[in-house]
Amino acid sequence: MTRSKESILKSVAQTACGLLALAAIGTTGCHQHLVSSAAHAVPAHRLDPELFACSREALGPLPYATLGQPKPAAHRIAAGDTLSVYVFGVFPPNEDETPVQQRTQAVNQRYYPPRGSVVAPTTGLPIQVDADGSITLPIIGRLDVNGLTMAETIERITSRLIEEEVVQEGKERVTVDLLIPRVKRVVVLREDTPNTQVALVSPQAVDEIHRGSGEVIDLPIYENDVLHALASTGGLPGTDAARELYVIRASAGLNNSFISGGQLQSIVSGGEGGQCNAGVIRIPLAGCPCDNLPFTQEDVILEEGDVVYIPRRNEYFISGGLLPGGRVPLPRDQDVDVIEAIALASGSAGGPLGRDGSVLAGGTPGYLREPSRVLILRTLSDGRQMTIRCDLDRAMKDPKERIRILPDDVVMLQQKPGGAFFNGFLNYFSGDSILVAFTRE
């Protein structure tokens, strides 16, 4: 005997009530914790984007000319310069012909010396400027030339020759030229990949194998700056490096303590804000428009033994919840909002369970209602943690809900209580169960 319609509906109602009771019991455990976490989270549309870091797409490049230095109109002599000095009949003695020096240097670097290996011939004999800025010449002895131009040096040598009655006034023939300019030897350490071949990897693949590069270069005076150091060692940092670099002074008296990555990031020009290492200067290569540069002209000039350090970029967000757990790299120059982050984490903001339609192939009707809530755990600059709640249904039409994802964010895709109950209800009343409920006697 078949059952009446009233008895069938009564059976379904009783089963539904039982499911509601089970759902109520379940909310006292893990589900209650999730709902509580979401209730105490800050809605994304209430947050001002200016509270967090400047948008990556809004960053402007640094005026790269500020990484160099102006070249003076005339070379100023200092320790390390090699001069060619010629005094007719005196230096060299008993020399009727003018000595000619060929300024040559083997080319073993990509850029220096400029204009090839042979610069040009010059007259005179080579004299190197000592550490105290003086040179030694026959008869007149030591002569201080520190800070003088070539023309001023000729006048000083001529005056000393006349004072010592070595030559007659009006008959002197003195020539001074720059044979080899002084150089500053610096080290450039780069953690970006020097290989020009770029390999694309899947979004969840984290490259843990990385090779950097390092070069020791000699920068001629007036070109001993960050601009020329970058140009001679591969150019601007690649996309696997941060858009910043650090100048570590050799003469700053750094202590022997290790510094963490957070301390390195906090140290600014001149050591302000970092008491432990005042000789570390941070130079950003991009910044928010209209912001002042956090370094000075003196900061980009490199001295003997300085180190230019280009760090590797380590910017990831963590995916979890209904998303496959992973550590997903963030693009360097583009912003990623919450919906794009779900897609990068191999999810789908509009698909079942945050996945593509393939999950329905072997699933049940309980996978029909897609998740529409995202919790973002974000660590603030002062170390505190903020929980941000995003409504994906609202994000489809409200740009304020599509919050930007920052490095080290934890992005967890979840079901709302109503959606979780709906999916559980459909899972309980699968197609076979409903058919049995309506056909059993």
Task: Report the alpha-carbon distance of residue 269 to residue 286 in Å, rounded.
Answer: 15
Kindly report, as residue ranges, where domains of CATH 3.30.1950.10 are found in the chain: 81-107+118-180
In this prediction, residue 30 has a pLDDT band, given cuts at 50, 70 and 90, of very low
Give the mean model confidence (pLDDT) for residues 45-69.
87
Residue 24 has pLDDT above 60, yes or no: no
Q: Which pLDDT does position 383 carry in this prediction?
A: 84
Residue 125 has pLDDT above 70, yes or no: yes
Q: Which pLDDT does position 322 carry in this prediction?
A: 83
Give the mean model confidence (pLDDT) for residues 420-438.
56
Q: Which pLDDT does position 381 carry in this prediction?
A: 79
Task: Report the alpha-carbon distance of residue 276 to residue 34 in Å, rounded.
Answer: 43
Give the mean model confidence (pLDDT) for residues 403-422.
83
Residue with tokens 């003196």: 298
Q: Which pLDDT does position 168 carry in this prediction?
A: 81
In this prediction, residue 370 has a pLDDT band, given cuts at 50, 70 and 90, of confident
Decide if 372 contacts 423 (C-beta within 8 A). no
DSSP sequence for 310-324: EPBP--EEEEEETSP
In this prediction, residue 304 has a pLDDT band, given cuts at 50, 70 and 90, of very high
With a pLDDT cut of 70, the percent of the chain lying above it is 64
In this prediction, residue 58 has a pLDDT band, given cuts at 50, 70 and 90, of confident
Q: Which pLDDT does position 104 carry in this prediction?
A: 55
Give the mean model confidence (pLDDT) for residues 161-172.
85
Q: Which pLDDT does position 26 carry in this prediction?
A: 44
| Stronger pLDDT, 26 or 148, i.e. the higher one | 148
Is 254 exposed, middle or buried (CB count within 10 Å of its CB: 0-12, 13-18, 19+)? middle
Residue 182 has pLDDT above 50, yes or no: yes
Residue 204 has pLDDT above 60, yes or no: no
User: 190 forms bridges with which residues in the sheet?
Assistant: 213, 310
Decide if 290 contacts 172 (C-beta within 8 A). no
- Most confidently modeled range among 69-83, 253-267, 338-352: 69-83
Residue 153 has pLDDT above 90, yes or no: yes
Which CATH number is correct for 81-107+118-180, 3.30.1950.10, 3.40.640.10, 3.50.50.60, 3.40.50.620? 3.30.1950.10
Give the mean model confidence (pLDDT) for residues 358-364.
55
For the chain, the C-alpha Rg in angstroms (whole number) is: 36
Q: Coil, strand, or helix at residue 185?
A: strand
pTM: 0.74
Q: Which pLDDT does position 218 carry in this prediction?
A: 87
Task: Report the alpha-carbon distance of residue 233 to residue 216 in Å, rounded.
Answer: 9
Q: Which pLDDT does position 229 carry in this prediction?
A: 93
- Digit-coded pLDDT (tens) for 90-124: 887 765 566 666 655 544 444 455 444 445 567 78
Per-residue buried b or exposed e for 268-288, using 16+ beta carbons within 10 Å of the residue's own CB: bbbbeebeebbbbbbbbbbbe
Taking all residues of the chain, what is their mean pLDDT, rounded to a whole number?
76
The CA distances from residue 263 to 260, 276, 283, in Å, are: 5, 9, 15
Q: Which pLDDT does position 418 carry in this prediction?
A: 66
| Stronger pLDDT, 96 or 399, i.e. the higher one | 399
- Most confidently modeled range among 30-34, 254-258, 322-326: 322-326
